[in-house]
Chain A
Amino acid sequence: MAGAAITATGLTKWFGEGDARTLAVAGVSFEANFGEMLFLVGPSGSGKTTLLSMISGVLRPNEGRVVVAGLDVWSLDDNQRADFRLHKVGFVFQDYHLFPRLTTTENVAIPLILRRHAWSEAMAQARGELDVVGLASRAEIAPGKLSGGEQQRVAIARALITRPEILIFDEPTASLDGDTGKRIMSFVVEHVLNEHRCILIVSHDERIFSFADRVMRMEDGHVVATERGAHA
């Protein structure tokens, strides 16, 4: 698939009003393409998570527009935007947010359940996805019994199960040691990234920047530099 996966134009977000107004993202514009892994990096408070949230349709910008996989995200109503996230976007959260009382298979199947797939079909597909991330043998245990790296892979399997065009990772290696982080990123590059998918990663972790196609550096709500990554 060719062309732009994400087109952001003048995205601006502030919090509070009057004297308490804080500018989080200031008129950011960029494009990300299918087949590309784009890193958003920068110090805490630079606006990268806010930008990520606006792109993924969970935080409304005050100004600007973002088109993701051909959809003008903020022209959709709440239900359409929920459907957009469910069908077009996969999320891997920093703390994984797996349900500790469900099995890993059930956790992975959740997006399919939300899409009203039959239980048995969702479970079969989830087991297949766990196989892809190398956790077939851990399918029926609770996530709490898995290591951090394994939980991360369960979260990736959950994000991948709907075959999303956009995949969003929020600090994917923040809770992992260096080696595990690198192994996860290698896995992402080899098995997750493809020409039909764009991956957006927010990270502080410079050790994994080498996996990026492009690195966008943010400071004080502005994009201050865009560099080609080592993987490009």
Chain B
Amino acid sequence: MRGLLRIAYKLLTNERGKFIALLMGIAFAVFLMVMMRAVFSGILRQSAATVTNTGAKMWVMDPAVNNVLTSIPVPDYVLDAVRSTPGVRSAVPLYSGAGLVRLSDGTYQPATLIGLDDTTLLGRPKLVEGHIEDLFADDAVIVVRDGEYPKLNSPGIGTTFELNDRRAVVVGIAETPASGLFGLPTLYTTFNRATSYIPSPRFTISYVLVEPTGPAAVPGIQRAIADLGYLALTEKQFSDRIADFYKYKTGVGTNILIMMVISFVVGLSISAQTFYTFVLEHLERFGALKAIGAHSRDLVFMIVFQVGVSSFAGYGLGVGLCSLLIMIAKARLPSYVSIITFGNLLFALAATIVIAVVSSYLGIRRVLRIEPFEIFRA
């Protein structure tokens, strides 16, 4: 069988033009599908950046919240109610809002402002410069050094600027696992200072961050909070909720899906058409092989092998190309985020297998139909 597959391989690869067309068709389709999903995964990761960076186990919020940046303030009594819920070890408020920074050159830059609980600083980012206790100093803020950091003119410790017409002093530089989706720099300060920086409505708590006593306590807490008329979600549930919002309620997910379907159809068309032409051009020779004594299963193996080689080589090429492009983009654009997940790779692999099955099916059907007698009549 190995000899037969070797012949099949040589027949395929020695036909350079068709082989390259096959490879490119599949590679192009895989590249587009993986790239689309990678970009979308990046968007989803960025959309849940605050949730990821804060690292709280549970979040309590208004049930209408579906995106961390569009928080709906909850009354102060909710914090007390949460604290007294069985299974809750601790609960602290979190403020999330947007402020306007006036830079030293006089220009303005919107920024996300996160207010951490004044006592515990729960959800604080990892500092790479400065000391966390300096956050208790007057007007102190911490700046996150991510892709958006240069928009604040890359401030260092001691830099001052105006935040909503009030003085702010940088006391620390932090790094977080993820940057936000909307290209805004992120500032951290204490909860009370954040609410004083930003004009607030009647209620000031954006979220209540909860530390349950253990995983077993989570369902009970969720039921109790639901009875209060609010929503308690674990970190993953909140991230998924945000992802679902972008997937299903913004049109972004639909557009990405459409692009992926188009990529798949283009790849399928190119590959199936090219391989079918390849089979047609070799039809008489496949007939000759049949006349010589090849079994139908031999020819099927040859075709499946040829399509398999092209498909998996094309898949590897597509994924490699995609990774390369993302790598180059990340090197040139610090805020660029695209993520190739295992799910993404498996999805593209499944699509490639479908392309391979359809392409080989067309070829196999044609080859099995050929009568060796036709060879003599030629």
Contact = CB atoms under 8 A, between A and B. Distances in A.
Contact of A111 (B15, B293, B376, B377): B293
B292 interface: yes
B378 interface: yes
Interface in A59-105: 59, 78-79, 82-87, 89, 91, 93-95, 97, 99, 101-102
Contacts of B376: 49, 52-53, 58, 93-94, 170
Contact of A106 (B7, B290, B372): B7
Given A52-B376, A117-B3, A119-B3, A91 B289 contact: no
A122 B293 contact: no
Interface stretch (B201-209, B236-244, B294-302, B325-333): B294-302
Interface residues of B, number: 31
Contacts of B372: 53, 58
B65 interface: no
B310 to A, nearest CB: 15
B167 interface: no
B378 A85 contact: no
Given A49-B376, A97-B285, A119-B2, A85 B7 contact: no
Given A58-B371, A58-B372, A114 B378 contact: no
Interface string A179-195: 00000000000000000
Interface in B119-154: none
B284 interface: yes
Main secondary structure, interface of B, reads helix
A53 B295 contact: no
A110 B287 CA distance: 13
A224 interface: no
Contact of B292 (A86, A95, A106): A86
A208 interface: no
B14 A113 contact: no
A113 B9 CA distance: 14
Nearest to A97: B288
Contacts, number: 90
A170 B298 CA distance: 25
Contacts of A83: 293
Main secondary structure, interface of A, reads helix
A21 interface: no
B3 A118 contact: yes
A114 B10 contact: no
B375 interface: yes
Nearest to B6: A119
B349 interface: no
B1 interface: yes
Contacts of A114: 4, 289, 292-294, 298
B11 interface: yes
B373 interface: yes
Nearest to B288: A97
A138 B75 CA distance: 91
Contacts of A99: 11, 282, 285
Nearest to B377: A49
Given A113-B4, A116-B3, A106 B10 contact: yes
15 contacts: A59-B373, A78-B296, A82-B294, A85-B293, A91-B288, A93-B375, A93-B376, A94-B376, A97-B288, A101-B14, A101-B15, A110-B7, A110-B289, A112-B3, A170-B376
